[in-house]
Amino acid sequence: MELKYGCNPNQKPASVYVKTANANATPANTAPLPIEVLCGKPGYINLLDAFNGWQLVRELKAATGLPAATSFKHVSPAGAAVGRPLSDTLRKIYFTGDGELSPLACAYARARGADRMSSYGDFIALSDECDESTAKLIQVEVSDGIIAPGYSQKALEILKSKRKGTYCIVKIDESYVPAPIETKDVFGVTFEQGRNELKINADLLQNIVTENKNIPADKLEDLIISLITLKYTQSNSVCYVKDGQAIGIGAGQQSRIHCTRLAGQKADNWYLRQSPEVLGLQFADNIRRPDRDNAIDVYISDDSDEVLADGVWQNIFKVKPAEFTREAKKAWLKTNTDVALGSDAFFPFGDNIERAYRSGVKYIAEPGGSIRDDNVIETCNKYNMAMAFTGIRLFHH
């Protein structure tokens, strides 16, 4: 398939193809692509997001038995979730309206709503056939495209109406099995490795090294969700999960503590959006969805004066909100509990645990193997956390 260009407009020509068993395969001598483009013209980065996202949701579905969705941006998930029902509060902060939601629609609402700022202009992946309920949620969001194993007729009609008929709609062949060896060219040099076919399940979470050995079944599932999400997130990365969805993903950082802080701040923002202060905001009738999301993000940040200033708030809110003080935010965040946290490599210092605790983390999964494991375990014990050593690293590049 010929593409408009590569990562950037100056990178031409660009195409995608499946190599045959012939090591010298060229675009003229290839196997069929495992996708069918039903609408639009996906680009190079779109398809990187699509293929990584599809693998993620396929594994989440296999591991949990629930439909799954992810919202991808620049080859890392902004959110990922399974189709657990939404509470009234989550429906409000995800702006789903009052209509009935299918389990797949719940999964997408969770994946898109976890970090609405990062999900702006996302590429969506769904584990199941896209139904009308899910398509209606996607219809009103700013998105570049979607990949799924199928689409109902009504869902396809809805999605084809996006972006004046140019929205990228990709159908993936569920039966497609990639070659066991994958290659990647960098600077004219070909790298080759076996695909990461590691199956992530509860068996990886049996080695609980902390004094607290109790990880309930639903929290084990949250840890599994965090690890599968990390498997397709650019490293270094950590992932906070609660109630079947990622609530904070820190991707592509050189330092693990920066991953933990970044993801922790996102998890905090997700929870702050459920506070009475945010739920009570009264927005102007004509405000655009992205402007509303921006306003919420600023309101819960330390820069809230930007949206509360005279001459500004009148364009955003019907009624000027009260200041959301730092003390009030800290008090609200203390009520967030039982969060699960996965890390794609070991924590080298206990400072990661200290930061995770501030965002309500109670359950942790990481490979172990640091020379300071004892310090990390001791810090977990201080807060009565339960931590499992998986023995498996999940770097992804």
Based on the residue annotation, tell me whether 236 is a catalytic residue of this protein.
yes
Q: Are strands 68-73 and 76-82 parallel, antiparallel or unpaired?
A: antiparallel
Asked if 206 and 386 count as a contact pair (C-beta separation under 8 A), the reply is no
Q: Which residue has the tokens 């990639």?
A: 178
CA distance 192 to 194: 7
N- to C-terminal Cα separation, the chain = 24
Q: CA dist 77 to 51, 223, 320, 326, Å?
A: 12, 16, 34, 29
CA angle 387, 260, 68 (to 5 degrees): 75
Q: Which residue has the tokens 């201080």?
A: 382
CA distance 173 to 67: 17
**Residue (of 92, 89, 167, 88) closest to 135 by Cα position:** 167
Q: Residue 36 belongs to what H/E stretch? A: strand 35-39
| From 10, 24, 286, 397, the catalytic residue | 397
| From 46, 52, 236, 294, the catalytic residue | 236
Asked if 278 and 300 count as a contact pair (C-beta separation under 8 A), the reply is yes
**Residue (of 2, 56, 7) closest to 33 by Cα position:** 2
Q: CA dist 190 to 8, 111, 330, Å?
A: 21, 34, 50
Q: Which residue has the tokens 């206990």?
A: 350
Q: Are strands 122-126 and 237-242 parallel, antiparallel or unpaired?
A: unpaired
Neighbours of 76 (CB within 10 A): 21
Residue 105, classed as helix, strand or coil, is helix
Residue 66, classed as helix, strand or coil, is coil
Residue 128, classed as helix, strand or coil, is coil
Q: Residue 246 belongs to what H/E stretch? A: strand 245-251
CA distance 68 to 177: 20
| From 61, 73, 219, 329, the catalytic residue | 73
| Catalytic positions, written as ranges | 73-74, 236, 397
